[in-house]
Amino acid sequence: MFPNEELLMKNLSIKAKLILLSLIPIITIMLITSALLIELKHTSEGSQRIYADRVVPLEDLKVIADDYAVNVIDAINKTNAGLMTAQDAVAAIRTSEAEIQQKWKGYMATELTVEEAQLAKEAESLFVQANKAIVDALAILETFDGMVSGQLNMLDGPMYAAIDPISEKITELVNLQLRVATVSYTHLTLPTIY
């Protein structure tokens, strides 16, 4: 203790000493609580970022992949099998086209890593071929009316050839999303040393 501190402590009443000693833990608790609240805010913001930039895009990518590889192909196959009218197939494909555009636009609005931007650019170039195949399929479907069982065999190969590469690229983007989310989560959960 410094000489002035010793003199100060002697001159304080017991009541004042007790108040002073009780304030020390209260101030310490307030400082710890403030630090924890700041860390909690940081964690919450990080979780929101992971959700907005990784989870939502995963959902969008799944919808895009399903619209191309399942809904479009399925509509053509069902129509060719006599399970769906040509008009219903056109409507289903147009719905898928609109959803693909909407989901891709949303995906591209997220924060992309450099690798992700490159894969997205590659996917967009594959969309051109797939979208052309869809336009060609729609043109053929629109020439029919009602059930057209067995009359769409000519679409089978070209549709798969145009859409399969997109499925592979979307899978790469999904895997990248999962890797980046894992890194973000790991970074977010590492203990902070004060």
Q: How many CB atoms lie within 10 A of CB 92?
A: 19
How far is it, in rounded angstroms, from Cα 1 to Cα 120?
66
Q: The tokens of 79 are what? A: 């129509």
Enter the pTM of the model. Answer: 0.76
The pair phi, psi for residue 43, each rounded to 5°, is: -65, -45
Contact 50, 184 (CB under 8 A): yes
Given a contact cutoff of 8 angstroms between Cβ atoms, the answer to whether 142 and 90 are in contact is yes
pLDDT at 98: 97
Cα–Cα distance, 156 to 152 (Å, whole number): 7
- Among candidate residues 167, 96, 163, 166, the one with its CA nearest the CA of residue 133: 163
- Position 150 scores a pLDDT of 93
Q: What is the pLDDT of residue 29?
A: 94
Q: Report the distance separating Cα 32 and Cα 104, nearest Å.
A: 44
Note the pLDDT of residue 194: 46
pLDDT reported for residue 5 = 64
pLDDT for 191 equals 55
- Walking along the chain (194 residues) 10 residues at a time, the average pLDDT comes out as 61 79 91 91 83 88 94 95 96 97 94 93 96 96 94 90 94 92 76 51
Helices 73-80 and 153-189 cross at an angle (nearest 10°) of: 150
